[in-house]
Structures are given as C-alpha cells and as structure tokens.
Amino acid sequence: MSIEKLFSVNGLNAIVTGGASGIGLGFVEGMAENGAVVTILDRDAARIESEVARLCGLGHKVFGEVVDITDRPAMRAAFERAAARTGRLDVTFANAGIDPGEGFARPDGGRNPGSEIDAMDDAVWDRTIEINLTGVYNTVKEAARQMKPHKHGSIIVTTSIASKMVGGMVGTPYMPAKAGAAHLVRQLSLDLARYNVRINAIAPGGFITNIGGGHTHKAEVQATFAKLIPLGRMAHPDEMKGLALFLASEASSFITGAEINIDGGMLNGMAQ
C-alpha cells in the first residue's frame, strides 16, 4: 500500500476538543491540511472564531463550536451535529485540559507553601479532576456512542508525561488526573475493541502552547525545560501532526490501548 493511502485521513470526520489552541490546534491542522472534515470543540469563543476563519480561508473544512467538555448535554448535542456532517464520526481527539497552577516546588529550589497538600485549595483539585479526567470520560463516552454502531473509529486522548512520572513543579492534582486518563484509555481499549473502535493516548512533555496563561512562551521557561529534555528544546504544536496522521489513519490499525510519549526523550531520563 502506498504511504499516501496508508496514512490517509482524506474525508475522515474528526472532532478535536481544545482544538482552538496549542497541541489540539496542531492536530486540527494536520488533519485538515490532509483533507479531513474537522470540528473544534473548545470553550474559547474568540480563538475558535479566528482559527476557523483562518483555516477555512486556506480552503480547509473546519468547523467550530463553543462547548465546555464538562457540560454533558452540550457535548452530546455537539457530537451529534458534528457526526451528521458526513453521517459517521471517524476520529475523536480528547485533548482539552488545564494546568492547575504552581506545584509545591519552585525552579529555584524553594517551596510554594500554598500548593503543599495540607494547604491545597479544594476548588483547584475539583476543577482539575473535572476537566482533565471527567472531561475525558465525557468526551470518550460521546465518541464511543457515535462510533460503535459503525464498528469503526479511532479515539486519541492527550495525557502527559505526568501520567507516568511525578514532579513538584506541576500542581499536584494534575498527576492523578492524567494517570487516571491514561488508565481509562487502557480499560476502554478492552471495552471498545469488539466494536473495532481503537483508543490510544499520547503523552506530551514540554510543548510551547497557551496552557497556564502561556508561560511556556517565556524564554526563561523554555531554557529551564531545554536543560531537562534530552533533545535540548521544547516542542512546537506542529510536531503533533505526524502522530495525528498515524493514530487517525489505517497506519495504526493494530494499535489500541497504547500511550505514546512525545516528549523529546524526557521520560527516559532528564538530560545529562
């Protein structure tokens, strides 16, 4: 089979949560540039408007809806509308997520006492679990509901290297939320396999995006990460495109329940 056919996403109908920015937007671009019909579900109305206008202006088939992934009735309605565009939903990228703020450790070796467990703001815990874990559950549930009758589909969940390692510089609630999402993917790979619906996770580390107010755009943050990442730099969301095409297409037809690192080697060890 030719490489064009093996990795083809032409004509596929895809939903991307958190697709208006960062890693999700990289996925949207990779799919749309190669002929997929893509619906962005995001809570950021302004970014949806500008990105949909930009991508449609380039001749791509991209739609957008303002939806919060924690709003179950709104998610159901949005999935139904998006699936109806071609009559079948082929791909879902469950990617929307947040950074819960500072961890208990500071890069200078100091501490953030307000992020230590005994002082933690319960609202930060609740919100992080609600979006980064329950939001994934809500998204995957709607995707499965659309895909099962067609016995076909690929679901991709954005976890993080935080699903496999811990560290004090990231807010504590992020760790169990991402580990939970990763384990949910493994569990659902068993549930969905008999319906020929594949589900996999990607575990990014160190992408320059707008997460957490956009602190990864700062030169000093990039320099700190660069020292930790074996490849010596942070990633650009464009670098999601290859994985998007691989996991969305027939090229990954026998892969389900996997969690693929996209982290410049960081999970194998910090740079020496």
Ligand X SMILES: NC(=O)c1ccc[n+]([C@@H]2O[C@H](COP(=O)([O-])OP(=O)(O)OC[C@H]3O[C@@H](n4cnc5c(N)ncnc54)[C@H](O)[C@@H]3O)[C@@H](O)[C@H]2O)c1
Catalytic residues: 174
Return d(Cα 182, Cα 258) in angstroms, integer: 9
Phi, psi of 73 (to 5 degrees): -60, -40
Number of residues that bind ligand X (CB under 6 A): 30
> Of these, 30, 97, 100, 264, which contacts ligand X (CB under 6 A)?
97
Neighbours of 206 (CB within 10 A): 21
Question: CB neighbours of 74 closer than 8 A, spacing ≥ 6?
Answer: 67, 68
- Minimum CB separation of residue 199 from ligand X in Å reads 16
Indicate whether 18 belongs to the interface with ligand X (CB under 6 A).
Answer: yes
Indicate whether 135 belongs to the interface with ligand X (CB under 6 A).
Answer: yes
> Of these, 204, 246, 247, 259, which contacts ligand X (CB under 6 A)?
204
Distance from the first to the final alpha carbon of the chain: 41
Return d(Cα 241, Cα 234) in angstroms, integer: 16
> Of these, 44, 65, 90, 259, which contacts ligand X (CB under 6 A)?
44
Q: What angle do CA 28, 75, 84 make, to 5 degrees?
A: 70
- Nearest CA to 78 out of 139, 19, 23, 127 is that of 139
Specify the residue for token string 């230590």. 116
Let me know: does 230 contact 271? Beta carbons within 8 Å.
yes
**Measured CA distances, 182 to 103, 115, 158 (Å):** 21, 24, 9
- Among 17-25, 106-114, 144-152, 182-190, which window interacts with ligand X (CB under 6 A)? 17-25
Indicate whether 43 belongs to the interface with ligand X (CB under 6 A).
Answer: yes
Let me know: does 199 contact 189? Beta carbons within 8 Å.
yes
> Of these, 100, 173, 205, 264, which contacts ligand X (CB under 6 A)?
205
Indicate whether 27 belongs to the interface with ligand X (CB under 6 A).
Answer: no
What residues pair up with 70 in beta bridges, in sequence order?
none
> Of these, 8, 22, 34, 93, which contacts ligand X (CB under 6 A)?
22
Binding mask 210-249 for ligand X (x = CB under 6 A): xx----x---------------------------------
Return d(Cα 10, Cα 37) in angstroms, integer: 8
Indicate whether 171 belongs to the interface with ligand X (CB under 6 A).
Answer: no
- Minimum CB separation of residue 26 from ligand X in Å reads 8
- Minimum CB separation of residue 143 from ligand X in Å reads 15
Binding mask 140-159 for ligand X (x = CB under 6 A): ------------------x-
Indicate whether 207 belongs to the interface with ligand X (CB under 6 A).
Answer: yes
Binding site for ligand X (CB under 6 A): 17-18, 20-24, 42-44, 47, 68-70, 95-98, 131, 135, 158, 160, 204-207, 209-211, 216
